[in-house]
Amino acid sequence: MADGFEGKSPNLSARPAAGPSYTTDITHRYPTFRDEPFKTVHNWLDGKRYDDGAEGLWRINDALYDLEDFARTHPGGAEWIHLTKVTIGDRAGTDITEAFETHHIGRRAELLLPKFFVRRATQPRNCRLTFHEHGFYRTLKRRIREQLGRMDPAPKEHSRRIVDGLLVCVLLTACLAVRLQSYAIGLLCAICVSATVIAAHNFLHQRDNWRMYAFNIAFLSYREWRVSHVMSHHLFPNSLLDMEISAFEPFLCYLPWADLKNSFQRYGSWFYEPFICGSIFLSEYLKRLMDSFSQGKNRFHLDDLIPFLMPAVMYATNPASIGVILQMWLFVVLMGSFFFGMIGLTAGHHHPKALHSGDLFPNDMDFGLYQMATIVERKGVEGSLLKVLTTFGDHYLHHLFPTLDHAILPQLNDVFLATCEEFGAGKRLSSWFSQYIAQNLQLARVRAKKYQS
Ligand code: HEM
């Protein structure tokens, strides 16, 4: 099927004909559970298991593996492996090809893999993206691997110091804001909260480490983001599988599908979007609460207590009334969420020049070239690690190799740009202001475009 979907799908009658070698999304099947009212990570994982049909095992390319016993000793942490397998009815197992390819730059994982081989898969992969040996992604990965051997790892320490410093700033400004009952300092605290959460995101991509918990400071969960951001958004950006698109629907509709958004959604969203941004932190927590009650399964972990660290410190250091503390805390969380949302939604994907599901692109696109086509990077932060870390900067390289610390990415830039040139893939950059305008234009866009390399 070239331009339609197997299984459930929306009305695509308004789409231009794709033709035999073009497609409008990277998967064959319309993602199961995508349109459930609660866009939870558990629904996403269940839907992916159902659609991947990995025959009860883990799939990588066209082979099936049993990683049950390996999970405990996986150097990146057991969670990654556990998240990707749980059975649902007679469909089970997950295709982890993209996760495996992007999370292991060295050859250790690849050499270990045959130990867990069970059998060849009987069905083709649901995802159309390819990893050919001499294609863009694998070529770049080989060159990055060589470059990593020559690289200076010392700057990684700067990333750690930045997150530590930001955490201290959050707690200090939170206490001061309550003591002086100053909403101006509260606003400063909110900026620090947003910066801390974004900088901590660098660490949730890596092997388990304590700084990933800083991501939970204001109600988000590093564990859930390992699904909605790492496994969904990073691996399948701007596609139907991207939770950072589906989670905002029907309020913010970034896909250019005329039949899925009315004029109010296209243009009204320009005005109500800031309120949606302000509600991201709290609504994620509420969603987990409601999911726990409705499914009768506890979705909470000990680290979900981390958001209460801020009010606890406010209370411990101030004689102010509980009412004042609660008001200030709520203000900081709402404003922190607003900054986080505005920075995140304009970081690099929602731009009319970026490829989205519904646009036309080649059927067997290289994974790396697809990633390149879905990004328009915000310029103006390069050269400052603090700015890069706190604004989702260096978006191209980070998307392609998410486990690499942002601090070392500049050392890989030359090899990256040379490989891009060789494969005719250009970096696209845009200013903060034009990125904001472009994001609104993308909300309004309904006309599909054709991919051009
Ligand atoms: C869902 C799939 C998987 C994910 C998301 C994942 C994720 C990760 C992460 C985040 C790291 C740490 C990388 C770093 O901080 O540099 C890692 C390391 C590693 N993983 Fe995985 N992994 C997956 C599957 C596998 C499989 C199937 C194997 C092998 C059978 C494997 C073997 C390894 C090895 C050997 C390392 C250490 C890499 C090194 O030292 O070079 N992983 N993985």
Q: Which of 70, 82, 96, 103 to mutate to test the pocket of ligand 1 (most atoms within 8 A of CB)?
A: 103
Residue 357, helix vs strand vs coil: strand
| Same-domain check for residues 308 and 258 | yes
ipTM for the complex shown: 0.95
Identify the domain containing residue 30 by its residue range.
24-127
Please say whether the beta carbons of 47 and 33 come within 8 A.
Answer: yes
Q: How confident is the model at residue 8, as a pLDDT?
A: 47
| Same-domain check for residues 189 and 322 | yes
Tell me which residue has its CA closest to atom 21 in ligand 1.
76
Q: pTM of this prediction?
A: 0.93
Expressed in angstroms and rounded, the spacing between residue 105 Cα and the centre of ligand 1 is 9
Q: What would the mean pLDDT of 409-422 be, rounded to a whole number?
A: 97
* Contacts of 110 by beta carbon, 8 Å cutoff, 6+ apart: 104
Question: Is the model's pLDDT at 7 over the cut of 50?
Answer: no
DSSP letter for each residue of 15-35: SPP--TTEESSSBSBPPTTTT
Q: Name the pLDDT band for 440 (thresholds 50, 70, 90).
A: very high
**Last residue within a domain, chosen from 98, 127, 156:** 127
Q: What is the pLDDT of residues 82-136, one digit of tens each?
A: 888 765 555 567 999 999 999 999 999 999 999 999 999 998 999 999 999 999 9
Q: Name the pLDDT band for 11 (thresholds 50, 70, 90).
A: very low
H helices, E strands: number in the chain: 18, 8
Question: Is the model's pLDDT at 313 over the cut of 70?
Answer: yes
Expressed in angstroms and rounded, the spacing between residue 227 Cα and the centre of ligand 1 is 15
Query: Which protein residues are within 6 Å of ligand 1, measured from CB?
Result: 67, 70, 74-76, 80-81, 84, 96, 99-100, 103-104, 106, 108-109, 112-113, 116, 206-207, 403
Which structure tokens are listed for 184?
A: 């101006």
Q: Which atom of ligand 1 is nearest to the CA of 404?
A: 16
| Same-domain check for residues 397 and 425 | yes
Residue 223's nearest CA partner among 337, 301, 282 is 301
CATH of the domain at 109: 3.10.120.10
How do strand 63-65 and strand 377-378 relate by DSSP bridges?
unpaired
Q: Name the pLDDT band for 426 (thresholds 50, 70, 90).
A: confident
Q: Which of 57, 74, 94, 223 to mutate to test the pocket of ligand 1 (most atoms within 8 A of CB)?
A: 74
**Last residue within a domain, chosen from 83, 109, 127:** 127
Question: Is the model's pLDDT at 211 over the cut of 50?
Answer: yes
Top mean-pLDDT range of 132-146, 259-273, 307-321: 132-146
**Out of 37-51, 177-191, 199-213, least confident range:** 37-51
Residue 142, helix vs strand vs coil: helix
Beta strands in 358-410 (DSSP E): 361-362, 377-378
Please say whether the beta carbons of 44 and 33 come within 8 A.
Answer: yes
Please say whether the beta carbons of 97 and 125 come within 8 A.
Answer: yes
Q: What would the mean pLDDT of 16-32 be, rounded to a whole number?
A: 78
| Same-domain check for residues 50 and 80 | yes
**Is 2 inside any structural domain?**
no
**Last residue within a domain, chosen from 102, 127, 152:** 127
The residue type of 368 is: G
Q: What would the mean pLDDT of 293-311 be, rounded to a whole number?
A: 87
**187-196: b (≥16 Cβ within 10 Å) or e:** bbbbbbbbbb
For the chain, the domain total comes to: 2
Q: Name the pLDDT band for 300 (thresholds 50, 70, 90).
A: confident
**Is 16 inside any structural domain?**
no
Q: How confident is the model at residue 14, as a pLDDT?
A: 42
| Same-domain check for residues 259 and 379 | yes
Question: Is the model's pLDDT at 22 over the cut of 90?
Answer: no
**Is 10 inside any structural domain?**
no
Order across the sheet with 58-60: list the strands.
94-95, 58-60, 63-65, 117-120
Tell me which residue has its CA closest to atom 36 in ligand 1.
75
User: CA triplet 230, 36, 449: central angle to 5 degrees?
Assistant: 65
| Same-domain check for residues 182 and 251 | yes
Stated length of the chain:
453
| Same-domain check for residues 392 and 448 | yes
